[in-house]
């Protein structure tokens, strides 16, 4: 399993106190992919640019897609641009892939057969590994989860990141999530003002 898949599974935990927005999660998943690509030396960072290395050997299909989508000509892509481009609908792609792999299952809430449907992680070795990383507050997983508001009340207990490149990626993910939230708030204010205009005094 990859950091992105572990993060997705953690975000789907029915016992989580916070629901994660799909846009926020997609940005964090793109960041998790980039961190794993750095870990395999498929890419390196030069400032805020992603510089591809040699062709990686990746067994995971989504990670293979991420590596194949790298910009391989100078000037290389900025981390922020990668997050927005790669993150487009990425949470939906991970949900589909995990359902296909049997890691997620659709369940209906309540006892009625026509109740609302939700997706939950299945008790598999992969889920247990993700849960173990989360329980141990593995630094990368904990940092990305905190960015999207999972278990945010324990953020002060997170261990620090000891890799400069990883720290850079997490910081850019944080900024992108904040930017997305600012866009949401601006749209909400604009929609409210528009509704008031039509409603009249």
What are the pLDDT digits (tens) for 13-34? 766 666 788 899 999 999 999 9
Give 107-121 pLDDT, tens digit per residue. Answer: 765 555 555 567 888
Task: Please name which of 26, 70, 29 lies closest in space to residue 50, comparing C-alpha atoms.
Answer: 70
Q: Which two tokens stand for residue 149?
A: 């508001």
Higher pLDDT, 105 or 114: 105
The number of domains in the chain is: 1
Task: Please return the burial class of 101, using the count of CB atoms within 10 Å of its CB with bins 0-12, 13-18 and 19+.
Answer: middle
The model carries a pTM of: 0.84
Q: What domain range includes position 170?
A: 3-199
Q: Residue 156: is its pLDDT beyond 50?
A: no
């Amino acid at each position: 399993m990859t950091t992105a898949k572990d993060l997705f599974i953690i975000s789907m935990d029915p016992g989580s106190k916070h629901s994660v927005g799909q846009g926020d999660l997609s940005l964090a998943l793109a960041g998790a992919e980039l961190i794993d690509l750095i870990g395999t030396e498929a890419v390196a960072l030069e400032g805020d640019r992603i510089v591809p290395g040699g062709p990686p050997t990746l067994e995971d299909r989504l990670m293979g897609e991420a590596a194949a989508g790298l910009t391989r000509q100078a000037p290389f892509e900025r981390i922020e641009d990668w997050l927005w481009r790669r993150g487009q609908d990425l949470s939906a792609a991970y949900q589909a892939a995990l359902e296909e792999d049997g890691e997620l299952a659709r369940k209906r809430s309540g006892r009625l057969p026509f109740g609302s449907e939700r997706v939950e992680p299945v008790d598999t070795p992969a889920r247990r590994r993700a849960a173990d990383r989360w329980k141990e507050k593995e630094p990368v997983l904990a940092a990305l989860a905190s960015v999207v508001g999972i278990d945010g009340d324990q953020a002060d207990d997170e261990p620090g990141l000891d890799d400069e490149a990883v720290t850079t990626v997490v910081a850019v993910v944080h900024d992108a999530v904040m930017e997305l939230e600012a866009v949401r708030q601006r749209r909400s204010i604009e929609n409210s003002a528009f509704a008031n205009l039509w409603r009249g005094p």
